């Protein structure tokens, strides 16, 4: 993509202003990477490709800045003029461009974070844990604030869903480019190092261009597990303890590192990858066991390497740093258990007792990884005890820097990750449990029992697998069991009954924390009653006693939004949280609400920290758990600097959410605007139902979006829908429902019904006041503003007209226009995102390029919908559509 000439820049002032307002260094990065891509297209593309890409690029920029139908028609005509082979190449070129723009944006974020952290007298960001602690302490006092900080918990759970459109090979190439761009940044301008970095970037972009953008086959669940491991290896293993260190440094000042940290590890990881079998027949008990083994191998290898590095730095002579009595006793135990290792350790560190102890501890970690029962640690608490003895000995020997330096980081890593890395959570549908339990009970009561079905055997085997994982890696490695579509207390009790059937009479079942997942509007309303009933069940009561009355409840954002629309779902979720939190508080229960949020707005996406600070009183209380999935995982945790910033921001919001001022603000606002909420709920639901309950809606939806074709993409191991075709909304999973609307540039799942809801209230001054005073309302308005900014009226209309239902198309278009008018009026300014200029500029810079891919996708979709294509050519048109799906996902930076 070449740089605009001066004449073109004058002609295209709208888009030019958006680019000019970007930070200078980022603009330079985008131009350089675009120029390198242009060179690759000239060298490696077919003749004339670069010129055709430029033709479409300039046409869509002109159409974006010119609202006239003629400009849009000219851009569409360019897209229509390409042969199918050329359209394929052009779609690939724009997709690569988006990968490079995303890379440049991420690099700019990292650059800003590094520059901020590098300032001599850095002030903590207002939304950091350290700043949140200061604010909280001002309200509740230092002691209470410290107690809350030390009980803080942020618990992200990684999930695999059919929305990650980017191949792992592409992601790997992009990560290499990130490294090269950093090297380019750090080299002397015009020097040999910079020229070398530029040459290597050119080589890598050429590789990216030549890499097939679409997977040939769907990834298996094990492939998905290994993809998540890349994030752990490259980022989380070191980023999480660095967050602890930065918070402790900020709070303790110059004393940090010379005395015991006041920060306790507050991050815990969970994963559904390899454990979520709801609707995914490919996740079996065998896969779950394998997933646990892969994760354990990664964390134990990390701990082993860390212990070895620390051992090599503890070259402290016994004369300067004498061992404590406890350390000498530990050394005796380690020597007795490992004579071979002891001889080697004595040879390497005869007069360095702390190093000798760490070398022998490292050997025990290695034995744990290799499953050497004689030498292995049985559970992480044993390793922690040994490391603590070493640390205490160093403190006693007046070597606190060594005690609270890298050794403290290792202690934090063991406390955070254990021997399992992330707790493997199992999820299954309540209907499956009921069916299998009926089969087990019938068999138990039969004089001549029939063999259990394959499904029943598999369900029971899962419980035996959980028991094996707990025995192998400790009780924290697995045990949380989520019940999808929980509709009664019996749905939860059934899990414990099945666990007993699985292990047989007299045997002890695995330790289970059974977690209800309330998903539909009706289930959310019934949730408090179900919880009040289930806590009296013997298995639940026993578990409450064992956990000091801690309990988890999961809330589903996806299906509730598809059930009643995004506005009513948001309000219902708030009410459900408030009622469940009030019940838990009255019952003396420490509640953790588990938020089943997706990356897209139709699935509860959006900035997590602002959403946390909008929650009902006592619904957070220092504990926050949510799902992170698909492209969101790599966007938030793929780079160490961005991961640390994200964790810091979310944890700060979790800590601050319990401040009396925040709780009072949210409670008062909810009461003050209850009437507004009731009006919005009713009006939004009515408008949403007028669309989704219209006769033939499901078939129309499948026609006007690439829903059917999304099923052809090898995105994830989980099927995109529950049946063979979309006959009703119930057939469709929430994730592709969101994905399909985003591809059509409508993003309906995130906003439909809001315009009608705001219109029903009708009082702009009241709504503007609510935007200032009511955090939940502000979050909704801001998120919808972002969603609509990524949509496009003209392109959306082209998709809507693919179906022969003008009534439904007009309903969607009118509601989009109405919603946009109200959101702009409430948030202020004369266009969407006027109050968020950085985000607005980023969207404006991308939109014309996304438009180019959307026009190619529309062309392919029309061809496939009309059926006017030879059977031999069908694969080419399907491929073009799928290429455009991948490219639009990269351009919008979200799928489902």
For residues 629, 635, 639, 641, the Cα torsion angle rounded to the nearest 10 degrees is -110
Residue 513: strand pairing partners: 480
Other Cβ atoms within 10 Å of 452 Cβ, number: 17
Q: What is the CA radius of gyration of the chain?
A: 29
Q: What are phi and psi of 704, to 5 degrees?
A: -90, 0
The one catalytic residue among 99, 161, 355, 420: 161
- Any catalytic annotation for residue 161? yes
273 vs 295: CA distance, rounded Å: 11
159: β partners: 629
Q: How far apart are CA 300 and CA 298, in angstroms?
A: 6
DSSP 8-state secondary structure symbol assigned to residue 477: G
Between CA 808 and CA 797 the distance in angstroms is 11
Q: Tokens standing for 95?
A: 């997709």
Q: Token digits for 789?
A: 């900014």
CB within 8 A of 547, min separation 6: which ones? 513
Token couple for 17: 């202003």
Active site residue 420: no
Placement of tokens 């909420």 in the chain: 677
Residue 748 DSSP class: G
In angstroms, the Cα distances linking 654 to 266, 269, 270, 660, 771 are 11, 16, 18, 13, 22
Question: CB-based contacts of 315: which residues, under 8 Å, 6+ apart?
Answer: 349, 352, 355
Of 565, 602, 813, which Cα lies nearest the Cα of 684?
565
- Tell me which residue has tokens 């809606």: 697
Residue 157 CA to residue 637 CA, distance in Å, equals 12
CB atoms within 10 A of CB 544: 17
Helices (H), 445-537: 454-473, 489-503, 521-534
* Tokens describing residue 648: 């810091």
Q: How far is CA 399 from CA 251, 328, 414, in A?
A: 22, 17, 22
| Residue 108 to residues 30, 102, 177, 835, 836, Cα–Cα distance (Å) | 10, 10, 14, 21, 18
Neighbours of 210 (CB within 10 A): 11
- The CA-atom distances, in angstroms, between 117 and each of 242, 250, 299, 651 are 13, 12, 29, 19
* Whether the Cβ atoms of residue 663 and residue 618 lie closer than 8 Å to each other: yes
Phi, psi of 550 (to 5 degrees): -95, 140
Tokens describing residue 669: 């606002």
Give the C-alpha separation, 510 to 759, whole Å.
53
Instruction: Choose the catalytic residue: 107, 298, 562, 618.
Output: 562
Q: How far apart are CA 513 and CA 396, in angstroms?
A: 41
Structural contact between residues 530 and 489, judged by C-beta atoms closer than 8 angstroms: yes
Torsion of the alpha carbons at 373, 374, 375 and 379, rounded to the nearest 10: 50
Query: For the packed helices 837-866 and 793-800, what is the interaxial angle rounded to 10 degrees?
Result: 20
Distance from chain centroid for Cα 33: 27
Task: Indicate the SS3 state at residue 455.
Answer: helix
| Measured distance CA(87)–CA(49) in Å, rounded | 10
Q: How far is the C-alpha of 693 from the C-alpha of 650, rounded, in Å?
A: 38
Query: Are 295 and 424 spatial neighbours (Cβ–Cβ below 8 Å)?
Result: yes
- Please list the active-site residues: 161, 562
């Amino acid at each position: 993509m070449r740089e605009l000439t001066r004449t073109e820049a004058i002609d295209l002032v709208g888009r030019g202003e958006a680019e000019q307002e970007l930070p200078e260094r980022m603009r330079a990065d985008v131009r350089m990477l675009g120029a390198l891509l242009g060179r690759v297209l000239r060298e490696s593309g077919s003749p004339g490709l670069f010129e055709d890409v430029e033709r479409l690029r300039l046409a869509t920029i002109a159409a974006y800045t010119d609202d006239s139908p003629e400009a849009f028609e000219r851009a569409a005509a360019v897209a229509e003029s390409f042969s199918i082979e050329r359209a394929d190449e052009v779609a690939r070129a724009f997709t690569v461009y988006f990968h490079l723009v995303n890379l440049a944006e991420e690099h700019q974020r990292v650059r800003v974070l590094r520059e901020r952290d590098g300032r001599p007298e850095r002030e903590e960001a207002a939304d950091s844990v350290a700043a949140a602690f200061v604010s909280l302490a001002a309200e509740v006092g230092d002691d209470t604030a410290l107690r809350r900080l030390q009980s803080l918990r942020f618990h992200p759970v990684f999930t695999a869903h059919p929305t990650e459109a980017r191949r792992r090979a592409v992601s790997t190439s992009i990560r290499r480019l990130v490294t090269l761009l950093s090297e380019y940044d750090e080299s002397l301008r015009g020097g040999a190092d910079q020229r070398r970095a530029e040459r290597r970037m050119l080589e890598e972009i050429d590789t990216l261009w030549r890499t097939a953008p679409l997977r040939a086959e769907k990834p298996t669940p094990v492939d998905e597990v290994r993809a998540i491991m890349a994030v752990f290896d490259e980022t989380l293993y070191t980023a999480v303890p660095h967050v602890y260190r930065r918070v402790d440094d900020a709070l303790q000042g110059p004393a940090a590192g010379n005395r015991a940290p006041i920060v306790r590890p507050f991050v815990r990881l969970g994963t559904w990858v390899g454990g979520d079998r709801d609707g995914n027949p490919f996740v079996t008990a065998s896969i779950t066991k394998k997933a646990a083994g892969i994760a354990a191998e990664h964390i134990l290898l990390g701990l082993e390497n860390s212990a070895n590095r620390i051992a090599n730095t503890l070259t402290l002579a016994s004369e300067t740093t004498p061992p404590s009595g406890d350390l000498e006793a530990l050394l005796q135990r380690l020597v007795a258990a490992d004579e071979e290792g002891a001889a080697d350790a004595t040879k390497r560190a005869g007069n360095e007792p702390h190093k000798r102890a760490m070398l022998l501890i490292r050997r025990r970690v290695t034995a744990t990884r290799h499953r050497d029962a004689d030498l292995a640690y049985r559970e992480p608490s044993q390793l922690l005890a040994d490391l603590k003895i070493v640390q205490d000995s160093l403190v006693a020997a007046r070597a606190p820097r060594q005690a609270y330096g890298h050794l403290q980081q290792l202690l934090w890593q063991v406390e955070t990750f254990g021997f399992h890395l992330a707790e493997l959570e199992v999820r299954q549908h309540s209907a499956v449990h009921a069916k299998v339990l009926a089969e087990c009970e019938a068999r138990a009561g039969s004089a001549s029992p029939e063999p259990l079905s394959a499904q029943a055997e598999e369900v029971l085997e899962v419980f035996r697998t959980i028991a094996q994982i707990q025995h192998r890696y400790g009780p924290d490695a697995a045990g949380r069991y989520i019940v999808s579509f929980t509709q009664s207390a019996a749905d939860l009790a059934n899990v414990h009954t099945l666990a007993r059937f699985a292990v047989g009479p007299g045997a002890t079942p695995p330790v289970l924390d059974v977690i209800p997942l309330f998903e539909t509007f009706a289930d959310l309303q019934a949730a408090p009653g179900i919880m009040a009933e289930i806590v009296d069940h013997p298995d639940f009561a026993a578990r409450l006693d064992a956990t000091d009355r801690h309990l988890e409840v999961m809330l589903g954002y996806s299906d509730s939004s598809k059930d009643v629309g995004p506005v009513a779902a948001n309000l219902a979720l708030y009410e459900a949280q408030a009622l469940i939190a009030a019940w838990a508080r009255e019952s003396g229960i420490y509640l953790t609400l588990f938020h089943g949020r997706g990356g897209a707005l139709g699935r509860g996406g959006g900035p997590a920290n602002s959403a946390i600070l909008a929650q009902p009183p006592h619904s957070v209380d220092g504990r926050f758990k949510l799902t992170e999935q698909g492209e969101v995982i790599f966007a938030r945790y793929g780079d160490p600097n961005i991961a640390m910033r994200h964790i810091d921001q979310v944890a700060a919001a979790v800590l601050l959410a319990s401040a009396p001022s925040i709780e009072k603000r949210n409670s008062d606002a909810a009461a003050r605007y209850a009437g507004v909420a009731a009006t919005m709920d009713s009006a939004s639901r009515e408008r949403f139902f007028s669309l989704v309950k219209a006769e033939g809606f499901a078939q129309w939806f499948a026609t006007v979006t690439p829903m059917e074709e999304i099923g052809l993409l090898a995105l994830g191991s989980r099927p995109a829908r529950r049946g063979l075709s979309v006959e009703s909304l119930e057939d469709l999973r929430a994730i592709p429902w969101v994905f399909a609307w985003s591809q059509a540039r409508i993003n309906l799942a995130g906003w439909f019904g809001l315009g009608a809801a705001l219109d029903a209230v009708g009082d702009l001054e009241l709504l503007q006041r609510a935007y200032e005073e009511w955090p939940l309302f502000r979050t909704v308005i801001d998120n919808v503003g972002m969603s609509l900014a990524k949509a496009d009226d003209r392109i959306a209309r082209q998709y809507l007209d693919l179906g022969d239902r003008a009534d439904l198309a007009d309903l969607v278009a009118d509601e989009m226009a109405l919603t946009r008018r109200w959101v702009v009026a409430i948030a202020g300014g004369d266009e969407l995102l006027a109050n968020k200029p950085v985000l607005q500029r980023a969207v404006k810079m991308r939109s014309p390029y996304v438009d180019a891919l959307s026009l190619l996708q529309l062309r392919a979709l029309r061809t496939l919908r009309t059926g006017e294509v030879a059977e031999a050519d069908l694969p080419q048109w399907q491929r073009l559509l799928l290429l455009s799906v991948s490219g639009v996902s990269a351009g919008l930076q979200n799928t489902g």
